[in-house]
Amino acid sequence: MFNFDYYNPTRIMFGTERIKDLGAQLPEDAKVLITYGGGSAKQFGTIDEVIQSLGKRKYIEFGGIEPNPHYDTLMKAVEIVKAEKIDYLIAVGGGSVIDGTKFIAAAVYFEGDAWETWISNTPLKQVLPIGCVLTLPATGSEMNGTAVISNTALNAKLSHKHPLLFPRFAILDPRKSYTLPTKQMANGVVDAFVHVAEQYLTYPVYGKVQDRYAEGLMLTLIEEGPKALKEPENYDVRAAIMWSATQALNGLIGVGVPQDWASHRIGYYFTIHHGLDHAQTLAILLPAVLDVQRENKRLKLLQYAERVWQITEGSEEERINSAITLTRQFFENMGLPTYLRAYGIPESAIEEAINYLKRFNLLPLGEHKDISVIEARRVLSLSY
Amino acid sequence: MFNFDYYNPTRIMFGTERIKDLGAQLPEDAKVLITYGGGSAKQFGTIDEVIQSLGKRKYIEFGGIEPNPHYDTLMKAVEIVKAEKIDYLIAVGGGSVIDGTKFIAAAVYFEGDAWETWISNTPLKQVLPIGCVLTLPATGSEMNGTAVISNTALNAKLSHKHPLLFPRFAILDPRKSYTLPTKQMANGVVDAFVHVAEQYLTYPVYGKVQDRYAEGLMLTLIEEGPKALKEPENYDVRAAIMWSATQALNGLIGVGVPQDWASHRIGYYFTIHHGLDHAQTLAILLPAVLDVQRENKRLKLLQYAERVWQITEGSEEERINSAITLTRQFFENMGLPTYLRAYGIPESAIEEAINYLKRFNLLPLGEHKDISVIEARRVLSLSY
């Protein structure tokens, strides 16, 4: 096992009727910006519940944060925070709203150009405190210090990670996911699954606890994911998925072990340039990355085949092939096609994606940093 | 799943050569009390490493904290802290030293009688900051807010839990466990295993993630425990056990699920009055509690039999019996006898233990609070 640090100070408040406990987490005199996305948080009354819990505290609402939150939108919120002397941010939504709110919390204190400061990975010195009300289990942003922001003007999507970006608290009420469109719920399950895969399907370093945790999350998502689509108001199922998604990317399963993230990095291009959902890019790319990297990942792929998919028969190649096929089938069953052509993407996009990876210096990728242009092209060809 | 809060702000610094990073966690002007136990931390140079990392900071050493740390001993440290204006505590050792240090950190601010304040569970308002250097994987105290203190004058052993009691940081270097006596290492593995069992072997509430995590920790301890005794300097094995023991009682596997703790509470008597190691009491009592509570625990015992011990054949009773027998054999193989008589305890101790449970109002016990005198007596008889 590698040396590691683990630190995660986010307070999780999980279960039904927890929004009423939100106010008690804030200073009495806090002045709050409530951020949200497309409007469903408002439509289904979640914003009202938050406002009620705030009691007499002053607040301003800021809606319209997009999926893959846009820099320009977020900078408008930064101006409001400065003008109105906001001192606490409450994000109501999924990963995009929370990521965007993390950016706002940091950018309020940026000097000079905010985008340049963000992408230069300048260590943050100060951020506004953030609390979350999660409505979409998927990204784990509610319990980690990472935010991914898109700059549409520059066609760029880049992440930033800092301990100051952990939310102070996160309210996870599984019932808040009942009203999600099927597609969003399916995306969330696949997103969480691939987060686990990126931290697990590498090479063994005797991370026994991390491996068992990762396998447990995968098994839970495989068992509960399809149920969540069939029975959208099954509390137990939604609760298991919501907690899995948070655990998938709160740092715990990734401590002391190698990590990959090639599927994520290659996928950014297809979100930015072809409008694919983040989870769709992962459903396409993970099976291909596993296939191309099967030598590097051999031992973990065999362990995955046995412990997650109960495959114990056949040659090593057959077991690995079966595990990759079953992974692909799981994504397809969740309603996410796993090939680029199924989304109407032209084959020319393969070379454009390679150019994107070069332009943002994202290569080489993978846990061994051995996915360069040739290997990335093989991944993309297999994905087509 | 039940509603829950999860909050764990302890920073884990895991791996080799981490004590040199200790100093950076403390204020430059901190005045430190270094607490330790019987002297092995001093003998094997760990205290020296801590002192070196402190640089120019002033420090005082306080050794001699006993297993099941004694109130009287700890109060001597409290006096030193007050007299010398100590403002940071560094605990070097296992659970007893860390638990004792948590008491010191709190008792410095107690008004009136410290023992009365402790056992009255008066909410703490202020404590001194604590850092830990863990040398014995077992109790999880390095990453939780619980401390168990013994008062030998009163023949009492009682625990206190409060968010302020989380250590600020914990340094986990698996090599620090190489010099442990075999018996202590075995105790640590059994202690950690029973911590998991107390949070897992209850009744199902659809805690899918918690179940998988708990099973993963049990599998790891079953696989790695015997290796740790045979190969005391196998870093990977010690690392897997150390991380398992921390995870077993840092709150994570117990969120949103019922908990038992009957084996722990009944066991206190045999530590206080018969000098049994804490882990020995657990090795004796857990199999008996599982046997007596088999109806309440049926579904989880069957799941445990299948997922942890791979028992899939036979009637329900046969599978449950096999799981309990294999649990007992695991403890025996680790060198811990699982019956009271094997430790030379007289049979009269059964009624004395019942009286102890009554005297400290520890009954009823169990996840259903249905272990009263009759059931406790059955457990103790089966344990004899």
Model confidence pLDDT, tens digit, residues B9-27: 999 999 999 999 999 999 9
Give the rounded percent of residues in chain A with a pLDDT score beyond 90: 92
Specify if A6 maps to a domain: no
Residue the block writes with tokens 């409290």: B78
Quote the mean pLDDT of chain B. Answer: 96
Looking at the DSSP assignment, which residues form a beta bridge with residue B130?
Answer: B89
Nearest chain B alpha carbon to A168: B7
Which chain B residues are Cβ-neighbours of A3 within 8 angstroms? 14-18
Nearest chain A Cα distance for residue B45, angstroms:
21
Structure tokens at A311: 């495959």
Report the residue from B9, B17, B209 with minimal CB separation from A247.
B209
Q: What is the DSSP string of B52-111?
A: HHHTT-EEEEE--PPSS-BHHHHHHHHHHHHHHT--EEEEEESHHHHHHHHHHHHHTT--
> B137: pLDDT confidence band, cut at 50, 70 and 90?
very high
Mutate to test the interface with B, among A5, A19, A208, A236 (most CBs of B within 10 A): A208
Q: Which residues contact A233 (CB under 8 A, 6 or more apart)?
A: A175, A178
In this complex, do A12 and B5 lie within 8 Å of one another by their Cβ atoms?
yes
Nearest one of B207, B103, B183 to B151, comparing CA atoms:
B103
Task: Give the HSE-up count for residue A337: Cα atoms under 13 Å, Cβ half-sphere.
Answer: 10
Beta strand pairing call for A31-35 and A58-62: parallel
Residues B46 and B164 in one domain: yes
Specify if B3 maps to a domain: no
Which chain A residues are Cβ-neighbours of B240 within 8 angstroms? 1, 206-209
Domain count for chain B: 2
In this complex, do B208 and A215 lie within 8 Å of one another by their Cβ atoms?
no
Q: What's the one-letter identity of residue A301? A: L
pLDDT at B122 over 90: no
Specify if A2 maps to a domain: no
Q: Which residues contact B108 (CB under 8 A, 6 or more apart)?
A: B78, B81, B82, B127, B128
Residues B169 and B254 in one domain: no
Nearest one of B21, B16, B170 to B94, comparing CA atoms:
B170
Helix pair A278-292, A373-383: axis angle to 10 deg: 110
Specify if A3 maps to a domain: no
What is the CATH number for B54? 3.40.50.1970
What is the CATH number for B258? 1.20.1090.10
Beta strand pairing call for A88-93 and B58-62: unpaired
3-state secondary structure of A93: strand
Residues B320 and B191 in one domain: yes
Overall average pLDDT of the B246-259 stretch: 98
pLDDT of residue A314: 98
Residues A244 and A308 in one domain: yes
Indicate the residue among B176, B206, B233 that finishes a domain. B176
What single DSSP character describes residue B295? T
B310 contact A CB<8A: no
Q: Which residues contact A342 (CB under 8 A, 6 or more apart)?
A: none
Are B364 and B370 a contacting pair, CB within 8 Å? yes
In this complex, do A244 and B213 lie within 8 Å of one another by their Cβ atoms?
no
Residues A128 and A227 in one domain: no
Q: How far is CA A296 from the centre of its chain?
A: 25
Q: Phi and psi of A63, rounded to 5°?
A: -100, 175
Residues 14-43 of B with CB under 8 A from A: 14-18
pLDDT of residue B157: 80
Please write the tens of the pLDDT for every residue from B272-283: 899 999 999 999
In this complex, do B215 and A213 lie within 8 Å of one another by their Cβ atoms?
no
Residue the block writes with tokens 């295993």: B193
Residues (pLDDT < 50) of chain A are none
3-state secondary structure of A12: strand
Residues A207 and A304 in one domain: yes
Are A338 and A326 a contacting pair, CB within 8 Å? no
Mutate to test the interface with A, among B13, B208, B246 (most CBs of A within 10 A): B208
Which chain A residues are Cβ-neighbours of B216 within 8 angstroms? 209, 211-213, 215-216
Residues 159-218 of B with CB under 8 A from A: 206-209, 211-213, 215-217
Specify if B108 maps to a domain: yes
B355 contact A CB<8A: no
Nearest chain B Cα distance for residue A369, angstroms:
24
The CA distance from A84 to A74, in Å, is 15
Are B203 and B300 a contacting pair, CB within 8 Å? yes
Q: Phi and psi of B112, rounded to 5°?
A: 80, -160
Mutate to test the interface with B, among A212, A219, A223, A303 (most CBs of B within 10 A): A212
In this complex, do B15 and A7 lie within 8 Å of one another by their Cβ atoms?
no
The distance between the two most distant Cα atoms of chain B, rounded to a whole number of Å, is: 66
Residues A255 and A300 in one domain: yes
3-state secondary structure of B6: strand
In this complex, do A15 and B6 lie within 8 Å of one another by their Cβ atoms?
no
pLDDT at B121 over 90: no
The CA distance from A186 to A228, in Å, is 8
Helix pair B208-230, B316-333: axis angle to 10 deg: 40
Which structural domain range is residue B89 located in?
11-176
Phi-psi region of B323 (alpha: psi -120 to 50; beta: other; left: phi over 0): alpha
What single DSSP character describes residue A102? H
Nearest chain B alpha carbon to A205: B236
Query: Would you tell me how many other CB atoms lie within 10 Å of the CB of residue B340?
Result: 26
Residue the block writes with tokens 């509470």: B265
Please write the tens of the pLDDT for every residue from A68-106: 899 999 999 999 999 999 999 999 999 999 999 999 999
Q: What's the one-letter identity of residue B78? A: V
Indicate the residue among B176, B205, B235 that finishes a domain. B176
Looking at the DSSP assignment, which residues form a beta bridge with residue B5?
Answer: A13
Report the residue from B17, B220, B237 with minimal CB separation from A209.
B220
In this complex, do A208 and B220 lie within 8 Å of one another by their Cβ atoms?
yes
pLDDT at B65 over 90: yes
Residue the block writes with tokens 């992974």: A327
Residues A201 and A279 in one domain: yes
The CA distance from B182 to B191, in Å, is 14
Indicate the residue among A176, A202, A229 that finishes a domain. A176
Are A37 and A94 a contacting pair, CB within 8 Å? yes
In this complex, do B1 and A208 lie within 8 Å of one another by their Cβ atoms?
no
Are A357 and A265 a contacting pair, CB within 8 Å? yes
Please write the tens of the pLDDT for every residue from A230-289: 999 999 999 999 999 999 999 999 999 999 999 999 999 999 899 999 999 999 999 999
B306 contact A CB<8A: no
Residues B95 and B127 in one domain: yes
Residues B222 and B89 in one domain: no
3-state secondary structure of B241: helix
Specify if B218 maps to a domain: yes
In this complex, do A209 and B217 lie within 8 Å of one another by their Cβ atoms?
yes
Report the residue from A14, A208, A219 with minimal CB separation from B3.
A14
Give the rounded percent of residues in chain B with a pLDDT score beyond 70: 100
Specify if A210 maps to a domain: yes
Residues B213 and B284 in one domain: yes
Nearest one of B160, B154, B217, B159 to B191, comparing CA atoms:
B217
B111 contact A CB<8A: no
Nearest chain B alpha carbon to A21: B5
The CA distance from A271 to B215, in Å, is 38
Residues A154 and A189 in one domain: no
Structure tokens at B196: 């998991």
Nearest one of A169, A304, A157 to A246, comparing CA atoms:
A169
Specify if B6 maps to a domain: no
